[in-house]
C-alpha cells in the first residue's frame, strides 16, 4: 500500500505536468497572435473606420474573442498548478527537482498573465488615442470649406503653445519657491541651533551670563542718557532760535 501510493502520486504529477506544458505552449502561441492582432488592428482600425463600409465582425470583436479564450486557458493553467501543488505536498519528502519544476510553472503563469494584461492595456490606450484622433478629424472635416479654417488652426496651435509655455513658467516658479522655502527653513534651523548653543553656554557659565546682562544694562543706560542729552540740547537750541 505504501509503495503503490507514491507511484500513483508520481503518475498523477507527470500527467499534470504534461497538461501544464501543453497549455503553456497553446497560451504562448495565442499570446503571440493576440499581440499581433492588437498591433495590426490598432494601426489599421482608424483607416477602416473612416471609410463608409465597416465589416460586421471587426478586428475589435476578434480581439475580445481571443482575449476571452486566453483568459480561459490561463484559468485552466492556474487550476493545474494548484493541483500539482496539492499532489506534491502530499508526497513526503518532496524532492528539490519537483519544487523547482513547480516554481518554474508558477513563474511562467505569472509571465503570461503580465504579458496578457500589458497587451490589453496597450490596445485600449491605442483605441482611446485613435478615437480621439477620429473625433478631431471629424471636427476638422466639419469645418472644411470655411475660409478661416487655416487661421483658426494657427490660432489654436499658438494658443496651445502659449499654454505650454505658461505651464513651464509656472513649474519653474514653483520650483524656485520650493527651493527658497527649503533654504529659509534651513537658515531658521541654523539660527535656532546657534541660539540654543549660546543659551547653553550662558547656562554653563553664570559669570558670562551676568556679564552679558551688565553689558546690556549699561547699553540701555547709555542710550537713555544720550537721548536725554540730545533732547536737552534740542530744547536749548529751539529756545535760543525763538528768542
In angstroms, the CA 196 to CA 146 distance is 75
Residue with cell 527653513: 185
For residue 200, give every residue at least 6 positions away whose Cβ sits within 8 Å of its Cβ, in sequence order, or none.
none
For residue 24, give every residue at least 6 positions away whose Cβ sits within 8 Å of its Cβ, in sequence order, or none.
77, 105, 108, 112
Q: What is the mean pLDDT of residues 189-211?
A: 73
Could you state, in order of their start, the residue ranges of all structural domains in the chain? 4-142, 205-242
Whole-model pTM: value is 0.49
Q: What CA–CA distances, in Å, run from 224 to 22, 159, 228?
A: 101, 66, 6
pLDDT at 58 over 70: no
Q: What CA–CA distances, in Å, run from 20 to 26, 31, 217?
A: 10, 16, 92
pLDDT given at position 57 = 47
Contact 161, 169 (CB under 8 A): no
pLDDT given at position 1 = 42
Task: Give the single-character DSSP code of 57.
Answer: S
Q: Does 160 or 208 have the greater pLDDT score?
A: 160
pLDDT-derived band of residue 55, with 50, 70 and 90 as boundaries? very low
Residue 105, preceding peptide bond in cis (omega within 30° of 0): no
Class of domain 4-142: mainly alpha
Q: What CA–CA distances, in Å, run from 40 to 28, 45, 53, 64, 120?
A: 18, 8, 19, 14, 14
Q: What is the mean pLDDT of residues 57-62?
A: 70
Of 15-29, 88-102, 113-127, 137-151, minimum mean pLDDT range? 137-151
Of 36-40, 105-109, 175-179, minimum mean pLDDT range? 36-40
Of 28-37, 109-118, 126-135, 140-149, minimum mean pLDDT range? 140-149
In angstroms, the CA 211 to CA 170 distance is 53
Q: What is the mean pLDDT of residues 82-92?
A: 75
Task: Give the single-character DSSP code of 23.
Answer: H
Contact 86, 25 (CB under 8 A): no
Per-residue pLDDT tens for 130-181? 888 887 777 666 666 555 566 777 778 888 888 888 888 888 888 888 888 8
* CA 232 and chain centroid, separation: 74
pLDDT at 204 over 70: no
Q: What CA–CA distances, in Å, run from 2 to 6, 9, 88?
A: 7, 11, 16
| SS3 annotation, 89-132 | HHCCCCCHHHHHHHHHHHHHHHHHHHHHHHHHHHHHHHHHHHHH
pLDDT-derived band of residue 90, with 50, 70 and 90 as boundaries? low
Share the mean pLDDT of the chain: 78
Whole-number percent of the chain with pLDDT over 70 = 77
Q: What is the mean pLDDT of residues 187-191?
A: 84
Q: What CA–CA distances, in Å, run from 189 to 94, 197, 199?
A: 61, 12, 15
Q: What is the mean pLDDT of residues 111-133?
A: 86
pLDDT given at position 207 = 66
Q: What is the mean pLDDT of residues 98-113?
A: 86
Amino acid at each position: 500500500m505504501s509503495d503503490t501510493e507514491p507511484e500513483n502520486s508520481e503518475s498523477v504529477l507527470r500527467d499534470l505536468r504534461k497538461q501544464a506544458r501543453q497549455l503553456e505552449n497553446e497560451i504562448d502561441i495565442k499570446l503571440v497572435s493576440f499581440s499581433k492582432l492588437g498591433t495590426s488592428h490598432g494601426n489599421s482600425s482608424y483607416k477602416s473606420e473612416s471609410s463608409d463600409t465597416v465589416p460586421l465582425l471587426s478586428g475589435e470583436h476578434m480581439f475580445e474573442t481571443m482575449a476571452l479564450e486566453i483568459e480561459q486557458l490561463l484559468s485552466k493553467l492556474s487550476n493545474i498548478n494548484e493541483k500539482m501543488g496539492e499532489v506534491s505536498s502530499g508526497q513526503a519528502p518532496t524532492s528539490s527537482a519537483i519544487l523547482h519544476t513547480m516554481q518554474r510553472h508558477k513563474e511562467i503563469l505569472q509571465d503570461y498573465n503580465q504579458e496578457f494584461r500589458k497587451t490589453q492595456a496597450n490596445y485600449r490606450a491605442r483605441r482611446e488615442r485613435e478615437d480621439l484622433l477620429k473625433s478631431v478629424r471629424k471636427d476638422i472635416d466639419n469645418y472644411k470649406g470655411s475660409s478661416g479654417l487655416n487661421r483658426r488652426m494657427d490660432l489654436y496651435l499658438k494658443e496651445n503653445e502659449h499654454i505650454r509655455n505658461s505651464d513651464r513658467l509656472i513649474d519653474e516658479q514653483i520650483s524656485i519657491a520650493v527651493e527658497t522655502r527649503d533654504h529659509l527653513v534651513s537658515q531658521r534651523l541654523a539660527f535656532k541651533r546657534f541660539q540654543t548653543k549660546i543659551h547653553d553656554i550662558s547656562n554653563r557659565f553664570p559669570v558670562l551670563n551676568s556679564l552679558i546682562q551688565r553689558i546690556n544694562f549699561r547699553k540701555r543706560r547709555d542710550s537713555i542718557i544720550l537721548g536725554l542729552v540730545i533732547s536737552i540740547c534740542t530744547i536749548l537750541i529751539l529756545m535760543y532760535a525763538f528768542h
